[in-house]
Amino acid sequence: MPCSIAPGKILLFGEHFVVKGKPAIGMAVSVYAKTCVSKGVGIVESGQLGILVDLSSRVVNDRGVHKIIEELSKRGILKNNFHAVIESQIPIGSGMGSSAAVSSALAHALTVFSGFEPSKELVWEVSFEAEKIYHVNPSGIDNTLSVYGGIILYKDKSFRRLEIKWPEDIYIVVVDSRIKRSTGQVVADVLSRYEKYPTIYSRIYEAGEAIVTEALKALETGDFVRLGELMDINHGLLASISVSSSAIDRIVWSIREAGALGVKVSGAGRGGIVIALVEEARRDNVSNRVRELGLEPLLAKPDLKGVRALSPYG
Ligand code: PMV
């Protein structure tokens, strides 16, 4: 049975500032959505995610999934003879690009099942069509990372892949705060505050850009102590534009005190995920502190490959 996986993502630097044309750095991480396909009557389902699209009985409770079927059918790739089952390790609605990873894994697995080559370009195009349904005006950063993997610099709607040597003993610890937020609402609120204090906010956003410039150097030279400090500064800026909260700061400070190199909220903020850069020697300490807060640490590394078939198919 062909199965495909696609990674989720984090934003290492630059969220919110990117909305005003500043650069951001995103990274695909080793937390995955998976789809397996066998012969059937045109069904995509996920008990875990509450998805059911059944072409035989015309049930569609997920328009993004339906769009993927439509796009692949339109291209002559897909017939109605599939039964796809989706599972995911990626927290939903937390800024980890769950919808993009699910869409990429599904488009890839359906294409392989149908006997066609699942090129990165094809999976990107199809998953982006689904992203347009899930999110108003998506930047494309989420499905670019789920399809291509790696670490990317994003600016003005264009992407540059960064070739970084990531050390074996450095982890990204991801913590889902389990506090739900709407990216659209947080972005709108931040933009209205920007309008109220433009001279102050423009300086904060410039500092955000300077952090990305410094972070690129730290990544290229392998200076992960500096990278962590830059994450701390970035979190401070995000707090100053009101996208942290007492609950998020409690997580951030607990992880900091447990010895992380750097910690920040990732994505829209006011909830969602907190990410930490952690050396192997501090990994268990950090994980235990997260568990003491009643939360679960996800120990991740960069995913450099993006969407792919699971062995023995790929
Ligand atoms: O949806 P999230 O949590 O990954 O956040 C998106 C990042 C923002 O910069 C806040 C919004 C955007 O469209 O870039």
Q: Which residues of 111-127 are buried (b: 16+ CB within 10 A; e: fewer)?
A: bbbbeeebebebbbebb
Write the CATH number for 269.
3.30.70.890
Residue 74 sits in the same domain as residue 174: no
Token pair, residue 79, equals: 């017939």
CA distance 24 to 81: 41
Could you tell me which residue, 72 or 137, shows the higher pLDDT? 72
Residue 247 sits in the same domain as residue 174: yes
Residue 40 sits in the same domain as residue 132: yes
Residue 21 sits in the same domain as residue 154: yes
What distance in angstroms lies between residue 158's CA and the mean position of ligand 1's atoms? Answer: 15
Residue 124 sits in the same domain as residue 223: no
**What are the residues facing 180 on neighbouring strands?**
none
Residue 157 sits in the same domain as residue 9: yes
- Domain extent, residue 65, equals 3-163+303-309
CB of 244 closer than 8 Å to CB of 254: no
Q: Of all atoms in ligand 1, which is nearest to the CA of residue 17?
A: 9
CB of 24 closer than 8 Å to CB of 18: yes
Write the CATH number for 67.
3.30.230.10
Query: Does a structural domain hold residue 153?
Result: yes
Residue 70 sits in the same domain as residue 186: no
pLDDT tens digits along 116-164: 999 999 999 999 999 999 987 888 999 999 999 999 999 988 999 999 9
Token pair, residue 140, equals: 């494309």
pLDDT tens digits along 196-224: 999 999 999 999 999 999 999 999 999 99
Residue 71 sits in the same domain as residue 194: no
Q: Can you give the three-state secondary structure of the chain, one letter per residue?
A: CCEEEEEEEEEEECCCHHHHCCCEEEEEEEEEEEEEEEECCCEEEECCCCEEEECCCCEECCHHHHHHHHHHHHCCCCCCCEEEEEEECCCCCCCCCHHHHHHHHHHHHHHHHCCCCCCHHHHHHHHHHHHHHHCCCCCCHHHHHHHHCCEEEEECCEEEEECCCCCCCEEEEEEECCCCCCHHHHHHHHHHHHHHCHHHHHHHHHHHHHHHHHHHHHHHHCCHHHHHHHHHHHHHHHHHCCCCCHHHHHHHHHHHHCCCCEEEEECCCCCCEEEEEEEHHHHHHHHHHHHHCCCCEEEECECCCCCEECCCCC
Residue 7 sits in the same domain as residue 66: yes
Query: Does a structural domain hold residue 204?
Result: yes
- pLDDT given at position 313: 43
Residue 188 sits in the same domain as residue 109: no
The stretch 71-79 carries a mean pLDDT of: 97
Dihedrals phi, psi of 298, to nearest 5 degrees: -105, 120
Cβ 271 under 6 angstroms from ligand 1: no
pLDDT tens digits along 280-294: 999 999 999 999 999
**What are the residues facing 36 on neighbouring strands?**
3, 85
Residue 180 sits in the same domain as residue 156: no
Per-residue pLDDT at 167 exceeds 90 = yes
pLDDT tens digits along 168-188: 999 999 999 999 999 999 999
Dihedrals phi, psi of 85, to nearest 5 degrees: -120, 125
Edge-to-edge, what's the strand order for the sheet holding 170-176? 262-266, 273-279, 170-176, 297-300
Q: Of all atoms in ligand 1, which is nearest to the CA of residue 139?
A: 13
- pLDDT given at position 137: 82
Query: Does a structural domain hold residue 314?
Result: no
Cβ 19 under 6 angstroms from ligand 1: yes
Count: domains in the chain: 2
Its sign, for the CA torsion 12, 135, 240, 198, is positive
Whether the link from the prior residue into 167 is cis, omega within 30° of 0, is no
Residue 191 sits in the same domain as residue 279: yes
Query: Does a structural domain hold residue 63?
Result: yes
- pLDDT given at position 156: 87
- pLDDT given at position 136: 79
Q: Which residues are known catalytic residues? A: 142
CA distance 107 to 101: 10
Per-residue pLDDT at 26 exceeds 90 = yes
Q: What pTM value is reported for the model?
A: 0.95
Cβ 177 under 6 angstroms from ligand 1: no
Query: Does a structural domain hold residue 110?
Result: yes
Percent of the chain clearing pLDDT 70 (strictly above): 99
- pLDDT given at position 1: 84
- pLDDT given at position 291: 98
Cβ 191 under 6 angstroms from ligand 1: no
Query: Does a structural domain hold residue 75?
Result: yes
Q: What is the mean pLDDT of the chain?
A: 96
Per-residue pLDDT at 312 exceeds 80 = no
Residue located nearest, by CA, to atom 10 of ligand 1: 268
Cβ 306 under 6 angstroms from ligand 1: no
What distance in angstroms lies between residue 143's CA and the mean position of ligand 1's atoms? Answer: 13
